Chain A
Amino acid sequence: QQPVQSPQAVILREGEDAVINCSSSKALYSVHWYRQKHGEAPVFLMILLKGGEQKGHEKISASFNEKKQQSSLYLTASQLSYSGTYFCGTSSTGNQFYFGTGTSLTVIP
């Protein structure tokens, strides 16, 4: 039930782009994306619902391919503040959530 995230870790220089993928073996109703900095609580980034369109704000966007049961998070022109661990959370029913093991993103100057 736990979605699989890839890559597990990525290091970027400021200004570079990154893509984080989230894949599930179950049909999905929704995908959530969160970012967690070390020692802090996860913070919501965006939610994608079945039948919904690609979402985004500023330089972070995401897509949801229902047929492939996959979602991708796109970070463009990365900033130092983007560093952290990114988690996708998936749900087939809207209640039960399963989070991936996370992707560690480090942005260096």
Chain B
Amino acid sequence: NAGVTQTPKFQVLKTGQSMTLQCAQDMNHNSMYWYRQDPGMGLRLIYYSASEGTTDKGEVPNGYNVSRLNKREFSLRLESAAPSQTSVYFCASSDFSNQPQHFGDGTRLSIL
């Protein structure tokens, strides 16, 4: 039971570099989410995809782009990384919107 798989688990970038965080789920879920978690801030929604073919901004979308590649995969791209984007990034999926969310193990991203 893989559930939600995120790659990579750790990454260090330099300011201005770009990278894509990958997320895949094998539960045939329709909805997928990207969150960032910073100390003392809880989880903040970056983007979500209610269903295949749709994406919408969350609470903190600036500096990020997403692609819902197919039903299984939802990627998050940082075009020009900034130190303020140092965080732990979680991908989650749910059967439909407003159903229990299943989280991946997270990607720990540091930007120097």
Contact = CB atoms under 8 A, between A and B. Distances in A.
Contacts of A34: 101
A96 B45 contact: yes
A44 B97 contact: no
Contacts of A49: 98
Most A C-beta atoms less than 10 A away, residue of B56, B102, B103, B105: B103
Interface residues of B, number: 24
Contact of A96 (B58, B99, B101, B104): B58
B105 A99 contact: no
B90 interface: yes
A94 B103 contact: no
B33 interface: yes
Contact of A42 (B59, B90, B97, B98): B90
A47 B58 contact: no
Interface in B30-48: 33, 35, 40-45, 48
Interface of B: 33, 35, 40-45, 48, 50, 56, 58-59, 90, 97-106
Interface of A: 1-2, 29-30, 32, 34, 40-44, 47, 49, 87, 89, 91, 94-102
8 contacts: A32-B100, A41-B104, A42-B90, A42-B103, A96-B45, A96-B58, A99-B43, A100-B42
